[in-house]
A and B are shown apart, each in its own frame.
Chain A
Amino acid sequence: MCKECGCGIVGEVNIGGQPGSALSSPLLDAAEGSKHDHEGDHEHPHPHSHPHDHDHDTSGQIQSHQTVTVQKSLLEKNDRLAERNRGYFRAKGLLVLNVASSPGSGKTTFIRETAVALAKRLRLGVIVGDLATDHDAASLRAANIPVVQITTGTVCHLDAEMVSKAASQLNLDALNVLVIENVGNLVCPADYDLGEDLRVVLLSVTEGEDKPLKYPPMFHSANVAVIAKCDLAAAAGFDREKTLANLKRISHHARIFEVSAKTGQGMKEWIDFLVQAQESIQRQHG
């Protein structure tokens, strides 16, 4: 169930044509193996450390009120899995992008044109999420891009577990860049780390210059903000100065690009940036 909006029923997610529940990945198996059980006998020493005390009196029972210090983060399962994804992808020298936006901002086209423009320099693969259909995957596949489609059923965002399972269906060793195209949604995906290096948020010129102010968590979490469909700016009465000001206000860490995937405007700067970013990842871990 989505923690943010309560949607989704466990078990409906489909990854690359197979039910998610039937799939595993090496990372998830490792995560499961690290679970431990506190039930049972306390006579033997604990093989793992915990920041809390045990009262080992002879009867094994505490009779009076006792306050035990715990000091443990409530970070969720998703954050842990995301960190595992991150480590795994980095070890492969992959640059990983989490691309988010409203529905219809142009994510798939932007990703497709990015892959095409990069073709001579870097090999790009995609994990794409939608509630239903594999139209996006089909569009990417037609451009000769390795892709896995996740259909979530009713879940409104991708999470680290879905990404881990989908990634195991790609030949990651043949890739330099992994792009995760999130479900079109500016709310819930903000809460879900997928293990990415860069969170890229798209905002098209038809959406209004105050979008960043309306969706602070997503825009604040962005490492890159892309103003998309710039070829339509005049027709949409797009206020560029206001949009840039609002982006700088909310997404003040973000690098901003203004593009038209359709005409190619602005794509060169974006591609050069990606190549540099991937080189930097490669240098650290390649």
Chain B
Amino acid sequence: MRFLANLVLWGLVGVAVLVAFLAILNGKLVTRAWVSRFASRQALAVNPVNGVPVVRALAVINRWRRFGLASGFVLAALWSLQEGRLDFNFTAMFLGWFVGSLVAEWRINPAASGTRRRADLNRRTLASYVTAGNRILLGATLLALAGFGAWAGVVALGDAGVSRDWLGWALTSALGASALWAVTRRIVNRPRPVAASDLMEADDALRGQSLTVIAGSAIALAGLPLTSFVAEIATHLAPKADASATVLIMLVALALGWHVASRSASVRAQATPA
């Protein structure tokens, strides 16, 4: 009897998780307000010619981000269910959203088509799409991650050997940095056939927006391993000290990441005379 009650209860929880998953996935993929925000941040004049590819690309990006968010939610919920409780893990959801953002960039593929193909002779680099300030912030975060990671590793080796925590975060950081590098290259190098100037401007705006949002998200997510590494170092240097202050690192990373992803200026806006 008790088994049956448990089965019904977890069945209901499972249905609730599924409903939440579908709710996240459903809904409008691209709203007028979102397109307006995008256009204003990227100083892009959206018109009937470039509006179609812009909306199409934004829809692909949003679909994958939502799918990642929903997957993060479901996986975390299922993980917690097996331990007899139901958690809403925001970190897992954010991580899922981030992975979805990366996958989306692979789905946008304006491959060269037709027999007559044109290309311009400008080199495209990260600097073409992400402002110097944001690039410095991202570089400093990755440098801090590598530095504190190495320091924490040396500290852990000097003690009782590397901890599982350190190893886990070090591997995750390396994997995340590699994924970031690969996606950045993908966005910068994906085909950009020469077309009407408003289409090319829209293409630049989409690349700039994607790279900036991904850079901001990477900064925010780097707060997790950074906090762990600094806590490990702090525990070693002052075993009696309260390591809870390291949470500040997490908060600063989140605030900086949010600013870069959603509030910082775009290269296009900086280049446009006021």
A and B together in one complex = no
Chain A interface (Cβ within 8 Å of chain B)? none
